[in-house]
Structure formats: C-alpha cells, structure tokens
C-alpha cells in the first residue's frame, strides 16, 4: 500500500475577488521508501499541495478530496490525531531555512521541541537526542548551542533536516530544500537527504522548480501546471523526454553544460501562468503552448497514459497513443534504464 495517497485534492482560497482555485484535482501516490518529486513554477500549486498534506494551510483555504496518510484521511482527522501525525507521521523541510528557524532560540532547543512534545522525553534526553540528530546531519553536537544567525545557509538547512527527522517520521516533505544554496552546498544537502531517507526507509516528497535537481534525487516525478498534474512518470524519463510541452519546457530551462544546442541559446517559456480568477477555456497551458492547436482551446485534457508507467495531460499525447493502437495500461513496467537509453522506443510498439 502507498504510504501517502492523495486523491482528487482540491484547494481554493477565499479572497476579496471570490474563491480562487489553487489546486484543481491532484492525485499523487508515494510508496513506502520511494522518492517522488513535484515540479512546477511559482503559483502552480505545488507548495499548496505540500502544506495541505499536514493541513498547514491558512484558514482561508478550502480543501476537498482525500489525503490518505498510511490509510488515514488527514482532511477528516481530529485535532489530537493530527497533532500526533505532524512530525511523527510526516514532517516538512521548508525552503528558506533562515526564515523557518526561530532567530532567538538556540538550534538545539528548536530540534528538541518536537521531541519533548511528542515523545514525553525528559529535557536531558531530548537534548541528547538533538545532539545525535545534529551529528547525523553532519554538524558537531556542540553546535546545539548556536543561534541560527551563527550558521551558514547550508548549515541551517542541515538543522532543518535534523528537525524533520526528530520524531522518526515515515514521510518527509521537502519544499525547495536547496533553492538559494550554492551548487556545492546543494550537492552536500541532496546527498545527505538521500542517505538519510535511504538509511531510515523514509518516503519523500520533494518539491522544486528545478527539474534537474528532482530528476537527480527522485524515483518518480509529477509536473504541475495551474493547479493540476500535467505529467507524471519515472523521473529520468520525465526529465529527458517529457511528453507534455510544459514538462519539456521545464526540462530544457536548465542547460546541460557541453550540449551545443543550449550554448548561447537559453530556452525559456514566454508568458505567465494563467490567472486563477480567469482560467482560459480548454487546456490551461494552451495560451503559452508552443505547439497548441485549435482543438486545445476546446478540450481540457486530463491525465492520459503516455507510455509505460507514464501519463500526460495533452491532447497530442492522447492522439499519439490512439494512433499506436491502444492506450498503454498505466503501471506496465519497463526497465527504466532501457527506456532511458532509447528514448525513441518509449511506449510499447503493438
């Protein structure tokens, strides 16, 4: 069974301009011990999904659908249960460790706080555990006495990870854990996260606007656009050969050094995401899509099988798959390496 299963999640915010949809029906599954990435640009709803998982959204948010954490629906949980699930069932590593840590408390006390609250530990035991956690994330235990401003950005992010591990969660949600960090520090942090989730068998949901970082870290990737998942599949395939034009644009946004095609030709995506108050008719990506067709303004595509174990929400994918004779059953497993090595052979030839 999946440790996390999100079913038809919707989130809208009540604003002065009326109810604005931020997440418009998202399905996600994270198997125990697996790592799933969500990619997308600001405002696509990816961080809203992350916060919704533990009901951390502001009061103006209205949620629908189901969020099953180990089979239990987070959205209908009672407060007491929800408090128990936060930290111990799932914990979050937020972006911008500078703002997520309390500037006037020693970091050791901040790591010990959830342990004190959740495990009825004695202060001495919690402090000892905080020291162990710091060692685990590569900081000396004596740094527990430091204040956040005494640490570098990378060290603060390590503290955030130690906090997230404090109560032994089975799922870690990492929201842009390495954004704003230098490449070398980013590599250190990604390595650390990878090693820790591997050692403890923790599942992970990682959120980023950088598809290359997610492809490097995660097993599976979901690309979000305007509140929906528009592409989903094995991480490497989504990154290298996206089927949805938006997925392809995100993948091309960060160049591969040495690739002559991207030399002196940065690739972006013109335009801005749609205003949630005025969604375009048909496909939400249509107005920015480099390969849009007239029918895109009429049909609002849903996720459709787009090769073994993959799905994409694009009418072109739908016609391609139909032309191949049949929809490929989702979940049909092909060895990822093989497919990655022969991207042109993806999908199953009838």
Partner 1 sequence: MTAETEQPDRPGAPPVAGVPGTGPAVLGAAGVRVEFRARDGRGTARAVDGVDLEVRAGEIVALVGESGCGKTTLARTLLGLERPTAGRVAFEGRPLGYRAKELKAFRRRVQLVLQDPSGSLNPRHTVYDAVAEGLRIHHGSAPDERERVAAALARAGLRPPERFFLRYPHELSGGQRQRVVIAGALVLEPEVIVADEPVASLDASVRGEILALLLRLREDLGLSALVVTHDLGLAWNIADRVAVMYLGRVVEVGPVEEVLTAPRHPYTQALLSVLPEAPGRTPVVLTGEPPDPARIPGGCRFHARCQVLSSGEAERAGVADRCRTEDPGVLTSATTAQVACHYAAAAARSGATED
Partners of 171 in the beta sheet?
Answer: 90, 203
Q: Is the Cβ of residue 165 or residue 249 nearer to partner 1 in the bound state?
A: 249
Minimum Å gap between C-beta 208 and partner 1 is: 9
- Could you say which of 49, 52, 269, 312 contacts partner 1 (CB under 8 A)? 269
* Binding flag, residue 213, partner 1 (CB under 8 A): yes
* Binding flag, residue 249, partner 1 (CB under 8 A): yes
φ, ψ dihedrals at 137, nearest 5°? -95, 10
The site map against partner 1 for 155-194 (x = CB under 8 A) is -------------------------x-xxxxxxx--x---
Q: Is the Cβ of residue 104 or residue 257 nearer to partner 1 in the bound state?
A: 257
Q: Is the Cβ of residue 169 or residue 273 nearer to partner 1 in the bound state?
A: 273
* Binding flag, residue 99, partner 1 (CB under 8 A): no
Q: Is the Cβ of residue 90 or residue 215 nearer to partner 1 in the bound state?
A: 215
Buried b (16+ CB within 10 A) or exposed e, 130-168: bbebbebbbbebebbebebeebebbbbbbbbbbbbbbbe
Give the residue among 147, 35, 25, 33 at the shortest CA–CA distance from 98: 147
- Could you say which of 164, 252, 313, 318 contacts partner 1 (CB under 8 A)? 252
* Binding flag, residue 7, partner 1 (CB under 8 A): no
* Euclidean distance between CA atoms 188 and 178, whole angstroms: 10
Minimum Å gap between C-beta 224 and partner 1 is: 12
Minimum Å gap between C-beta 192 and partner 1 is: 10
Number of residues that bind partner 1 (CB under 8 A): 41
For 282, left (φ over 0), alpha (ψ -120 to 50), or beta? left
Structure tokens at 135: 């060692």
* Binding flag, residue 255, partner 1 (CB under 8 A): yes
- Could you say which of 265, 291, 331, 344 contacts partner 1 (CB under 8 A)? 265
CA 244, 248, 254 angle in degrees (round to 5)? Answer: 155
Give the residue among 267, 262, 221, 261 at the shortest CA–CA distance from 244: 221
Give the residue among 228, 209, 208 at the shortest CA–CA distance from 279: 228
Structure tokens at 82: 């929800």
* Binding flag, residue 341, partner 1 (CB under 8 A): no
Interaction site with partner 1 (CB under 8 A) = 41-42, 152-154, 180, 182-188, 191, 209-213, 215-216, 239, 249-250, 252-258, 262-270, 272
């Amino acid at each position: 069974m999946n440790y996390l299963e999100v079913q038809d999640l919707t989130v809208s915010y009540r604003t002065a301009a009326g109810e604005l949809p931020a997440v418009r029906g998202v399905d996600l599954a994270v198997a125990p011990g697996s790592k799933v990435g969500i990619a997308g640009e600001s405002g696509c709803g990816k961080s809203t999904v992350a916060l919704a998982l533990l009901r951390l959204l502001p009061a103006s948010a209205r949620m629908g659908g189901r969020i099953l954490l180990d089979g239990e629906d987070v959205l209908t949980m009672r407060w007491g249960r929800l408090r128990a699930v936060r930290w111990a069932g799932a914990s979050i590593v937020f972006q911008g460790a500078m703002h997520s840590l309390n500037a006037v408390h020693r970091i050791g006390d901040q790591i010990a706080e959830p342990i004190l609250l959740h495990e009825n530990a004695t202060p001495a035991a919690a402090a000892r555990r905080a020291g162990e956690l710091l060692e685990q994330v590569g900081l000396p235990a004596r740094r527990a006495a430091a204040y956040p401003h005494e640490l570098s950005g990378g060290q603060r992010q390590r503290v955030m990870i130690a906090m997230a591990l404090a109560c032994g969660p089975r799922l870690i949600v990492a929201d842009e854990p390495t954004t704003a960090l230098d490449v070398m520090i980013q590599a250190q942090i990604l390595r650390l996260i990878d090693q820790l989730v591997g050692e403890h068998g923790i599942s992970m949901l990682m959120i980023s606007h950088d598809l290359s970082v997610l492809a490097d870290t995660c097993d599976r990737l979901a690309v979000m656009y305007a509140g929906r998942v528009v592409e989903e599949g094995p991480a490497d395939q989504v990154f290298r050969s996206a089927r949805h034009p938006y997925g392809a644009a995100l993948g091309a946004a960060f160049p591969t050094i040495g690739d002559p095609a991207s030399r002196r030709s940065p690739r972006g995506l013109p335009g801005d995401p749609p205003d949630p108050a005025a969604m375009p008719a048909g496909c939400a990506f249509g107005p920015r899509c480099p390969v849009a067709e007239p029918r895109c303004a009429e049909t609002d595509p849903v996720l459709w099988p787009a090769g073994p174990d993959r799905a994409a929400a694009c009418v072109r994918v739908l016609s391609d798959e139909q032309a191949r004779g049949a929809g490929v059953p989702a979940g049909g497993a092909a060895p990822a390496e093989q497919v990655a090595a022969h991207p042109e052979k993806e999908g199953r030839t009838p």
